[in-house]
Amino acid sequence: MPLDIAVLSPEKTVLTYRLAGLGSRALAHFIDCLIILATIILLYVLVIMFAGLSFGVSPDLSEIALGVVLFIVSLLPFAYFIFFEGFWNGQTIGKKMAGIRVRMADGTPITFAASTGRNLLRVADFLPALYFLGTVAMFVNPKLQRVGDLVAGTIVTHEVRTIPTFSIAPHRVGIHSLENLVGELRNMTDAQYYVLRRYCDRFPELPSDVQNHLTDTVWLPMAEALGVKMQNQVHPLYLAEATVMKYGRVRGLL
């Protein structure tokens, strides 16, 4: 039976998520394991080819290459999940295909620290006895959290099946095309930057009425104080993104 969970977001809004059950999580994990296995096989094929080419020249190079591959292979099952969930907003390729996502227990996007914490305990997913215990843990707590989720304070939820109007602000990518419209931002503070950045990141996940409320009560008053003028054909969110990206890049905060 599907299980919904309601959380109070930092914006003081009640958001409802559908928790991902064992079936969808197992499917995502199976896909991810196939990807990891294919990567490992590819690495071994490459090192065998390299060894064949270099053995006559330097046998030591072959041994070094094999040692490097063994080191990478030992880290790959953990690094794959940590980096994908940490930098891809709580999803791996398998989770994307299964339509699920890892979030913090309060509904906010997963942090890199939480991704690291929950996945360092992923050894339980590769050892049958521990995997069984992790599965049991999902059924004895109301948020269907495995051991790694309990440690990191995360949950796994189904994606909302809607067509997004906006995407998360690309803080680390280039220069925003609207930066020329936001001025020099001389009066902006770091505190305003962090508030506005959170507004941009959370905007796509919030209900439309909450989006409008935060725009009216947070961004528009801030924009007026900073001298950022709204444009008739430009959504306020895009000017907020431009402000975040310009200030963050100039101050080295990105």
Residue 197 has pLDDT above 70, yes or no: yes
What residue type is 238 in one-letter code?
Y
Q: Give the per-residue SS3 of the chain.
A: CCEEEEEECCCCCEEEEEECCHHHHHHHHHHHHHHHHHHHHHHHHHHHHHHHHHCCCCHHHHHHHHHHHHHHHHHHHHHHHHHHHHHCCCCCHHHHHHCEEEEECCCCECCHHHHHHHHHCHHHHCCHHHHHHHHHHHHCCCCCCCHHHHHHCEEEEECCCCCCCCCCCCCCCCCCCCHHHCCCCCCCCHHHHHHHHHHHHHHHHCCHHHHHHHHHHHHHHHHHHHCCCCCCCCCHHHHHHHHHHHHHHHHCCC
Q: Is 117 exposed, middle or buried (0-12, 13-18, 19+ CB in 10 A)?
A: middle
Q: What residues pair up with 14 in beta bridges, in sequence order? A: 8
Kindly tell me the sign of the dihedral angle through the C-alpha atoms of 75, 77, 83, 86: negative
Provide the pLDDT confidence category of residue 144 given band limits of 50, 70 and 90. confident
Scan for tokens 């071994």, then name that residue.
Answer: 44
CB 183 within 8 A of CB 130: no
The pLDDT assigned to 1 comes to: 47
Q: What is the pLDDT of residue 26?
A: 85
- Residue 148: pLDDT above 90? no
Length of the chain: 254
Q: What percent of the chain has pLDDT over 70?
A: 76
C-alpha–C-alpha distance, residues 178 and 159, integer Å: 30
Tell me what the pLDDT averaged over the chain comes to.
80
Q: What is the pLDDT of residues 89-142, one digit of tens each?
A: 889 999 999 999 999 888 788 889 999 988 887 766 555 555 566 666 667 777
The pLDDT of 44-72, averaged and rounded, is: 67
Instruction: State pTM to two decimals.
Output: 0.60
Percent of the chain with pLDDT over 90: 23
